[in-house]
Chains A and B, each alone.
Chain A
Amino acid sequence: MSRDDMFSDALRAAAAASERRDELVRVALTTGDELDDIRRAKIWTRVEDRLDEPVHTPWRWLLAGGAGALALAAAVMLVVTHRRSAPDGFVAPPDATLSLRLGHARAALVGPARLDVVETTERTTTVALRSGRLLAEFEGGEGRSLRIEAPGATIEIVGTLFAVDVHDAVTCVSVSHGRVRMMTFSRVLFVDGGHTACSDSPATHALASDVGEALAHHAATLALAEAAPVRDAPGPGRPRPTSPAASDPVPAPVPAPAPVPGPGPRAGAGPRTSSATASASWSRSRSASVSVSGPASGSGSASASGPVSASVSEPVSASAPAASTVFGDPPPAPTPQPNIVKPTPPPSTATELYRAAEAALARRDLAAADRALATIIDTLPTSSLLDQALYDRARIAYDRHAFSDAQHHLDRLATLPTSPLLEPGAFLSCRIAIAANDPRADACLATYRSTYPHSPHDLDVLGLLVERAFHAGGCTRAAPLVDELARLYQATTLARGWRTRCP
Chain B
Amino acid sequence: MIAALAVLATLRPRATAHDDDKSGEGPTRSNAEGDAEVDDDATLIARHRAGDREAFATMYRNHAAAVYRRLGRILGPVPERDDLTQDVFLALHRALPAFRGEARLTTLIHRIAINKACEHLRRNARRPAVPTEGAVFDQLLSLAASPAERASWREELERVFACLAKIKPKKRVALLLRVVDGMSFEEIAVLVDATPEAVAKRVQHGQRELDELYGRASREARMS
Contact = CB atoms under 8 A, between A and B. Distances in A.
Given A50-B90, A463-B18, A30 B72 contact: yes
The number of chain B residues touching the other chain, given as a range, is: 35 or more
Contacts of B65: 34-35, 40
B195 interface: no
A24 B20 CA distance: 20
B72 A24 contact: no
B22 A492 contact: yes
Given A32-B72, A493-B28, A44 B64 contact: yes
B89 interface: yes
A18 B211 contact: yes
Interface residues of A, number: 60
Given A25-B176, A463-B20, A140 B134 contact: yes
Interface string A98-116: 0000000000000000000
B86 interface: yes
A189 B86 contact: no
A51 B19 CA distance: 30
A28 interface: yes
A24 B9 CA distance: 8
Q: Is the interface of A mostly helix, strand, loop or mixed?
A: helix
B20 A460 contact: yes
A190 B90 contact: no
Given A20-B5, A47-B90, A497 B76 contact: no
Contacts, number: 179
A21 interface: yes
Contacts of A190: 147, 150-151
A295 interface: no
Contact of A494 (B1, B19, B93): B19
Contact of A471 (B1, B10, B33, B180): B10
A438 B211 CA distance: 40
Contacts of B138: 179
Contacts of B181: 493
A46 to B, nearest CB: 5
Given A491-B29, A494-B14, A33 B150 contact: no
A464 to B, nearest CB: 5
A44 B57 contact: yes
Interface stretch (B38-46, B105-113, B153-161): B153-161
Interface in A164-187: 179
A489 B22 CA distance: 9
Interface in B101-149: 132-136, 138-140, 142, 147
23 contacts: A23-B5, A25-B164, A26-B179, A27-B8, A27-B12, A28-B76, A28-B140, A29-B176, A30-B16, A31-B139, A43-B89, A44-B64, A158-B132, A188-B151, A190-B147, A460-B20, A463-B14, A463-B18, A467-B18, A491-B28, A491-B29, A492-B22, A494-B19
Interface of B: 1-2, 5, 8-22, 26, 28-30, 33, 53, 56-57, 60-61, 64-65, 68-69, 72-74, 76-77, 79-80, 82, 85-86, 89-90, 93-94, 132-136, 138-140, 142, 147, 150-151, 156-157, 160-161, 164, 176, 179-182, 207, 210-211, 214
